[in-house]
Structure 1
Amino acid sequence: VISNVVRVSSRSRPDVSEVVIEFAWKTNMDFASMDVREKLDLVDLPDDAERPVLLRFDPSLDPIMRISLYGDEDLITLRILAEDELKPALEGLSVESGVMGIEAVGGVAAVEISGGLEEEIHVEVEEAKLANLGIPISRVITRLSEENINLTAGDIKEGEIEYLVRTLNEFKQVEEIQDIIIDFKNNVPIKIRDIGNVRKGHKERKVITRVNGKESVEIAIFKEAGANTVTVAKLVKERLKEIEKRLRKFSDSIRLEIILDQSGFIERSIKEVIYTALWGGILAILILFLFLRSIKNTLIISLAIPLSVVATFFFMHISAVSLNIMSLGGLALGVGMLVDNSIVVLESIDRYRRKGYSAIDSANTGASEVGRAVIASTLTTICVFIPIIFVKGIAGQLFNDQALTVTYSLLISLLVAITLIPMLSSLKIDRKKNPDIKRNGENAVITGNLLPTRILYILLYPLFIVFDIVFPAITRVYPGVVNFALSRKLLIITIALSILGGSWYLYINLGKELIPELSQGEFSIKIKKPVGTPLADMLKTVKRIETIASDNPEIQTIYTITGSTSQAGGTIAEERENIGEINISLREKSNRKLEKNVMADLRHKLKQIPAVEYKFSRPAYFTYLTPVEVEIKGYNLNILEKLSKTVIARLEEVKGLADIKSTIEGGIPEIQIIFNRQRLSQLGLDLNTIANIIRDNILGNVSTEFSRRERKVDIRVRVRKEDIGNVEDLKNFVVNPEGEKPITLASIAEINIKKGPGEIRRLNQERVVVVSANLVGRDLRSVVMDIEEKIADIKITSGFEVSVSGQSREMLVAFSSMVFAIALAAFLVYIVMASQFESLLHPFVIMFTIPFALVGVVLALFITAKPISVIVLIGVVMLAGIVVNNAIVLIDCINTRRKEGMPRREAIIEGGKIRLRPILMTTTTTVLGLLPLALGLGEGAELRMPMGITVIGGLLFSTLLTLILIPVVYDLVEKAKESVWRVG
Structure 2
Amino acid sequence: MVAFLIKRPIAVTMAFLGVLVLGVVAAGFLPVSLVPDVDIPRITVNVSAPNYAARQLENSVMSPLRNNLMQVNRLKDIKTESRDGSGMVSLEFDYGTNIDLAYIEINEQVDRAIPSLPSDVARPAVIKASASDIPVFYLDITLKDTGLRAATGNQSISDVDFLELSEFADEIIRRRLEQIPQVAMADMSGRTFPEIIITPDMEKLRAMNLSPAAIEEVIRTNNISFGNIFLRDKQYQYSVRVGNRLLDAGDIGELYLNHQGRLWQLKDLCQIETRPQYPEGAVYAAGQRAISLAVIKQADARMQDLKHALHEMITLFETDYPFLQFTVTRDQTTLLDYTMGNLRQTLLIGAGLAFLVMFVFLRDSRAPWLIIISVPAAMVVSMLFFFLIGISLNVVSISGLVLCIGMMIDNAIIVIDNISRHRKSGKSLSQACVDGTNEVFRPLLSSVLTTCSVFIPLIFLGGLAGALFFDQAMAVTIGLSVSLLIAMTLVPVYYYALYKKSTPRGTNFLARINPLNYTGLYGAGFRFAMRRQGLVWIMAGGLVAGLAIMMLLIEKERLPVLQREAALLWIDWNENIHLAENSRRIHNLMEELGPEVIYTTIQAGRQQFMLDKVYNNNAQQGLIYILTASASHLEGVMDKTTQLIGTQYPYAIFHFREEGNLFDQLFADRQAPLEIRLRPMEPYGRDLPALLQRTIRSLEESLPGTSFDALPMQQSVALQANLQLMALHEVNMTNLQQTLTRLFNEHQVFTLMDSRSSIPVKIGGNPSAIEDLLHAERVTSRNGVEVPLHMLLRKQPGQELQTIIAGIEGEYYPLQLDVNPRDVERAQVVVREALRGEGLFEASFAGSIFARRQLTRELLMIGVVALLLLFFILAAQFESLRLPAIVLLEVPLAMAGALLMLILFGVSLNIMAMIGMVVMTGIIINDSILKIDTINRLRDNGMPLIRALHTAGQYRLKPILMTSITTICALFPFLFIGGLGGDLQKPLALTVIGGLGLGTLVSLYFIPVCYYYLYRKKE
TM-score by length of 2: 0.82
Is the partner of 1:797 in helix, strand or coil? Answer: helix
Name 1:54's counterpart in structure 2.
126
Letter in 2 for 1:166: R
Range with bigger deviation, 875-884 or 903-912: 875-884
1:627-776 to structure 2, matched below 5 A, reads 628-636=672-680, 637=688, 638-645=690-697, 653=705, 662=709, 664-673=711-720, 676=723, 687=733, 690-691=736-737, 693-704=739-750, 713-722=759-768, 725-727=769-771, 729-730=773-774, 734-742=778-786, 750-772=794-816
Structure 1 unaligned spans of 5+ = 94-101, 432-436, 445-456, 655-659, 774-779, 980-984
1:233 and 1:367, CA in 2 relative to 1: closer, same or farther beyond 3 A? closer
Name 1:526's counterpart in structure 2.
570
CA distance in structure 1 between the aligned counterparts of 2:441 and 2:714, rounded to whole angstroms: 75
Select which of 553, 557, 566 maps to 1:513.
557
- Matched residue count: 919
CA distance in structure 2 between the aligned counterparts of 1:650 and 1:797, rounded to whole angstroms: 10
8 Å contact kept, 1:514–1:808: no
Letter in 2 for 1:140: I
CA distance in structure 1 between the aligned counterparts of 2:386 and 2:92, rounded to whole angstroms: 31
1:584-663 to structure 2, matched below 5 A, reads 584-587=626-629, 591-611=630-650, 612-620=652-660, 621=662, 622-623=666-667, 625-626=669-670, 628-636=672-680, 637=688, 638-645=690-697, 653=705, 662=709
Select which of 855, 868, 877 maps to 2:896.
855
Q: Deviations over 1:827-847 (max 9, x none)?
A: 111111111111111111111
Select which of 267, 289, 314 maps to 1:240.
314
Q: How far is 1:218 from its partner?
A: 3.1
CA distance in structure 2 between the aligned counterparts of 1:488 and 1:573, rounded to whole angstroms: 64
Letter in 1 for 2:622: G
Question: Given the alignment of the two structures, is residue 67 of structure 1 paired with residue 140 of structure 2, yes or no?
Answer: yes
Structure 2 unaligned spans of 5+ = 1-70, 147-155, 681-687
8 Å contact kept, 1:8–1:764: yes
Q: How far is 1:899 from its partner?
A: 0.2
Q: How far is 1:21 from its partner?
A: 1.6
CA distance in structure 1 between the aligned counterparts of 2:178 and 2:527, rounded to whole angstroms: 78
Select which of 264, 285, 290 maps to 1:211.
285
CA distance in structure 2 between the aligned counterparts of 1:711 and 1:34, rounded to whole angstroms: 29
Q: How far is 1:584 from its partner?
A: 1.4
CA distance in structure 2 between the aligned counterparts of 1:646 and 1:890, rounded to whole angstroms: 66
CA distance in structure 2 between the aligned counterparts of 1:314 and 1:489, rounded to whole angstroms: 50
CA distance in structure 2 between the aligned counterparts of 1:935 and 1:284, rounded to whole angstroms: 21
Question: Given the alignment of the two structures, is residue 281 of structure 1 paired with residue 351 of structure 2, yes or no?
Answer: yes
Q: How far is 1:167 from its partner?
A: 4.3
Question: Given the alignment of the two structures, is residue 502 of structure 1 paired with residue 531 of structure 2, yes or no?
Answer: no
CA distance in structure 1 between the aligned counterparts of 2:842 and 2:557, rounded to whole angstroms: 25
8 Å contact kept, 1:359–1:425: no
Q: How far is 1:410 from its partner?
A: 0.8
Q: How far is 1:374 from its partner?
A: 1.1
Q: Deviations over 1:419-456 (max 9, x none)?
A: 1222222236565xxxxx77989988xxxxxxxxxxxx
Name 1:366's counterpart in structure 2.
436
Is the partner of 1:154 in helix, strand or coil? Answer: strand
Name 1:824's counterpart in structure 2.
865
Name 1:87's counterpart in structure 2.
170
Q: How far is 1:359 from its partner?
A: 0.2
CA distance in structure 1 between the aligned counterparts of 2:882 and 2:247, rounded to whole angstroms: 95
Name 1:144's counterpart in structure 2.
219
Letter in 2 for 1:68: I
1:363 and 1:494, CA in 2 relative to 1: closer, same or farther beyond 3 A? same
Letter in 2 for 1:208: A
Question: Given the alignment of the two structures, is residue 338 of structure 1 paired with residue 408 of structure 2, yes or no?
Answer: yes
Is the partner of 1:524 in helix, strand or coil? Answer: strand
1:389 and 1:900, CA in 2 relative to 1: closer, same or farther beyond 3 A? same
Is the partner of 1:720 in helix, strand or coil? Answer: coil
Q: How far is 1:299 from its partner?
A: 0.9
Is the partner of 1:494 in helix, strand or coil? Answer: helix
CA distance in structure 2 between the aligned counterparts of 1:122 and 1:739, rounded to whole angstroms: 28
Name 2:366's counterpart in structure 1.
296
8 Å contact kept, 2:140–2:285: no
CA distance in structure 2 between the aligned counterparts of 1:770 and 1:941, rounded to whole angstroms: 37
CA distance in structure 1 between the aligned counterparts of 2:657 and 2:702, rounded to whole angstroms: 22
Higher relative contact order structure (alpha carbons within 8 Å, sequence separation ≥ 6): 1
Range with bigger deviation, 905-914 or 511-520: 511-520
8 Å contact kept, 1:853–1:954: yes
Q: How far is 1:244 from its partner?
A: 3.0
Letter in 2 for 1:796: A
CA distance in structure 2 between the aligned counterparts of 1:739 and 1:230, rounded to whole angstroms: 73
Range with bigger deviation, 79-88 or 680-689: 680-689
Q: How far is 1:352 from its partner?
A: 1.4
CA distance in structure 1 between the aligned counterparts of 2:810 and 2:429, rounded to whole angstroms: 78
Is the partner of 1:819 in helix, strand or coil? Answer: helix
Range with bigger deviation, 413-422 or 225-234: 225-234
Q: How far is 1:354 from its partner?
A: 0.8
Is the partner of 1:634 in helix, strand or coil? Answer: strand
Range with bigger deviation, 628-637 or 915-924: 628-637
1:164-183 to structure 2, matched below 5 A, reads 164-167=239-242, 169=244, 174-175=249-250, 177-182=252-257
8 Å contact kept, 2:72–2:106: yes
Question: Given the alignment of the two structures, is residue 154 of structure 1 paired with residue 195 of structure 2, yes or no?
Answer: no
Q: How far is 1:826 from its partner?
A: 1.4
Q: Deviations over 1:381-413 (max 9, x none)?
A: 112222123212354244222222221111111
Q: How far is 1:758 from its partner?
A: 1.8
Identity %: 23
Q: How far is 1:848 from its partner?
A: 0.6
1:320 and 1:195, CA in 2 relative to 1: closer, same or farther beyond 3 A? same
Select which of 591, 599, 621 maps to 1:579.
621
Q: Deviations over 1:73-105 (max 9, x none)?
A: 834454455455443344548xxxxxxxx9922
Q: How far is 1:125 from its partner?
A: 1.9
CA RMSD of aligned residues (A): 3.6
Question: Given the alignment of the two structures, is residue 31 of structure 1 paired with residue 118 of structure 2, yes or no?
Answer: no
Range with bigger deviation, 151-160 or 411-420: 151-160
CA distance in structure 2 between the aligned counterparts of 1:491 and 1:743, rounded to whole angstroms: 102
1:528 and 1:429, CA in 2 relative to 1: closer, same or farther beyond 3 A? closer
Question: Given the alignment of the two structures, is residue 865 of structure 1 paired with residue 906 of structure 2, yes or no?
Answer: yes
CA distance in structure 2 between the aligned counterparts of 1:202 and 1:881, rounded to whole angstroms: 64
Q: How far is 1:710 from its partner?
A: 6.4
CA distance in structure 1 between the aligned counterparts of 2:761 and 2:912, rounded to whole angstroms: 57
8 Å contact kept, 1:632–1:644: no
Range with bigger deviation, 567-576 or 885-894: 567-576
Q: Deviations over 1:603-623 (max 9, x none)?
A: 334433324332211233224
Is the partner of 2:679 in helix, strand or coil? Answer: coil
Is the partner of 2:73 in helix, strand or coil? Answer: coil
8 Å contact kept, 1:272–1:939: no
Q: How far is 1:761 from its partner?
A: 1.4
Name 1:552's counterpart in structure 2.
595
Is the partner of 2:992 in helix, strand or coil? Answer: helix
Q: Deviations over 1:513-545 (max 9, x none)?
A: 122355553212112212311223222211211
Name 1:411's counterpart in structure 2.
481
8 Å contact kept, 1:380–1:829: yes
Is the partner of 1:56 in helix, strand or coil? Answer: strand
Q: Deviations over 1:490-525 (max 9, x none)?
A: 221112101221232222111011223555532121
1:241 and 1:854, CA in 2 relative to 1: closer, same or farther beyond 3 A? same
